Every structure is written in C-alpha cells, then in structure tokens.
Amino acid sequence: MPPERKPGAGPAKGSGQGPAKPCPICGKPATAASQPFCSERCRDVDLNRWLSGSYVVPGRDNADEDAD
C-alpha cells in the first residue's frame, strides 16, 4: 500500500506530470498554492496584464459578421 500524501505536497513521483514549470512572470519555481505562478504577487501581476489589455486573444473582425 503506498504511503499517504499530505495535501499541497505536489505531484507524486511517477504521476506523469513531469518537473514543475517555472513561473511565467518571473521564472522562479511555481508553488502548489499559486500554480502556475510562484506567488500571489505574480498571480496579481498576470491578472493586471489581462485586465489592462496587455494580453489579448486574437479574433476575427466584427465587420465580417455585419456583411449579411
């Protein structure tokens, strides 16, 4: 029987998730509590970038839909 894992201990060895990815904001190792970021600060920086329009998701022009 495998040993019991503690909550927040990260992925178990052999779980197929591989090594932890670095924080997309600063590059430090990500923490389980703030995945995929390393801290609440980096999480907030990312949210601010989305809300301020620094990040955008490309889409179609609305002019194509008005042609009908």
Q: State the residue for tokens 């430090």.
A: 28
- Residue 2 CB coordination number (10 Å): 5
Domain membership flag for residue 7: no
Determine the pLDDT at residue 66: 56
CA dihedral in degrees (19, 39, 36, 46; nearest 10)? -140
Kindly state whether residue 31 falls inside one of the protein's structural domains: yes
Residue 38 lies in a domain: yes
pLDDT, one tens digit per residue, over 34-53 is 999 999 999 999 999 999 99
Count of domains in the chain? Answer: 1
User: What proportion of the chain, given as a percentage, has pLDDT over 70?
Assistant: 63
Q: Is the pLDDT of residue 1 over 70?
A: no
The domain of 34 spans 20-54
Report yes or no on 45 lying in a domain: yes
Q: Are 11 and 17 in contact (CB under 8 A)?
A: yes
